Structure 1
């Protein structure tokens, strides 16, 4: 190994330490008791309270109502993450399919209108979105958490570019075999889009899982809180001389990191293929 390779590896290792360091500190802090953290701050060593802290945040009811545990919030986050990702994929694929294969007037113009919504993030349209959800009675419901967010200009763009790269001969062959629009979409385009679906799924799952602002507005019932929302809730329970449960907040933060990491690791190879693969 020459000097250049050694320096490259040193830089990579420093990058890994820079990224992983805060996670390690958060995990180690989560194994200490609240008093130690309150007195000494964040900890870099193991504290010996791993089982106690993680069992408490997962299975012991807490919060203001003392009726909701971390497992309920984990389940809510799972529903939000999967519903968010699957909904965006379905809507994006159907929108891209219509734009590419249905020769209706102003199809390109409609696509650019959809793409322009990237300039309007959730924070910009959050008030009208909330008013609509509230008027429909969808507050404190899974549909209220998921449905208003599933339209995706990013997903529509990626699937549109993918569908445009599919050879026209496939469409002609499907027509000769008597396949209609739905059969062509279901039996040909969807199987061909598996790697792209996996790539979009990872992006959208992580984005949906980490949502904080929208669940904060839509959920006022603690039984509908997500993990990300619950972390803040733990730190808000600070009454009188009670010491803030930073150890529990850190434990919940570590638990909140695990599902996105697992999804990325499982679908990593598909993710890369979906973004760089050119051969169809």
Structure 2
């Protein structure tokens, strides 16, 4: 009986702990999800309802017209943005170019540092590593001058090229390449594989999960860029969704179309959320997998 009572008490304690753990998790999700829900609900009401500060907790009847206005025209207010369809395309293209460029350059840089012996190899690596202390915001004036000198102002190349280099991704790929057994290199040499074939047939397949995990992080990094696109682009045809959203919000007592702004914000959330959801399994696997 004592053993049975002890086991029952243990089960009750474990049940209470599970309930408390799940309760805290649910509370955390609600706290973080509530602003998103308010934005979603606000995008379904008219401008006068939101302008009065009367934002209900249930969806309204104006969702179709609000999302249509955001998608096709960017609203009709004083601070009108480009259509969401155009800005989403620009943001997606910029984020894809930045993610692909960062991964490509970082793979090649890490491959050269790990598998090639040359004078100044570690100096080159630590020079790349030190650039972590020089983000775009710190070097924005000289970078802007270079872009203008190269006639890349108001272009997709000007939006993406200065943001492509990544010391963080180079460091991560270098650490991964250092875990690859030397037997792989020797086997490739015995098989007559050159550097290009070794990189293509051995390193790239082994790096798929790491590439996928970094792609998610770098895509969101590129999608959320605000300062650099605001500075280097004044052509409305190249406006990104983050910059467009900021421009739609007027200053002072300006009348804002909050219903269209919230619809635009919801549309801006969808691509990064889709990337995270679709690549969630690869993302977790790339960050946690240790066996090669």
TM-score, normalised to structure 2's length? 0.90
Structure 1 segments (4+ residues) deviating >6 Å = 63-67
- The one-character-per-residue Cα deviations of 1:190-239 (angstroms, maximum 9, x if unpaired) are 11100000000000000100101110001101110011111012224x89
- The one-character-per-residue Cα deviations of 1:155-185 (angstroms, maximum 9, x if unpaired) are 0011001111111111111111111111111
Gaps in structure 2 of 5+ consecutive residues: 1-13
Indicate the residue corresponding to 2:101 in structure 1. 87
Indicate the residue corresponding to 2:286 in structure 1. 274
Conserved 8 A contact 1:145-1:218: yes
How far did residue 250 of structure 1 move? 1.1
- The one-character-per-residue Cα deviations of 1:44-91 (angstroms, maximum 9, x if unpaired) are 321211111001110125588979411011110110111110010000
Name which of 137, 142, 157 aligns with 1:123. 137
Q: What value does the CA root-mean-square deviation take over the aligned residues?
A: 1.9
Does residue 159 of structure 2 align to residue 145 of structure 1?
yes
Name which of 181, 186, 191 aligns with 2:195. 181
Q: Judging changes above 3 Å, is the alpha-carbon distance between structure 1 residues 23 and 195 closer, same or farther for their aligned structure 2 residues?
A: same
Q: Judging changes above 3 Å, is the alpha-carbon distance between structure 1 residues 216 and 43 closer, same or farther for their aligned structure 2 residues?
A: farther
Conserved 8 A contact 2:90-2:239: yes
Conserved 8 A contact 2:81-2:244: no
Name which of 224, 248, 254 aligns with 2:266. 254
SS in 2 for 1:2: helix
Based on CA coordinates, which of the two structures has the bigger radius of gyration?
2
> Take 1:247 and 1:130, find their aligned partners in 2: how far apart are those partners?
35
Indicate the residue corresponding to 1:56 in structure 2. 69
The 5-angstrom pairing of residues 12-27 of structure 1 reads 12-27=25-40
Gaps in structure 1 of 5+ consecutive residues: none
- Count residues with an aligned counterpart: 278
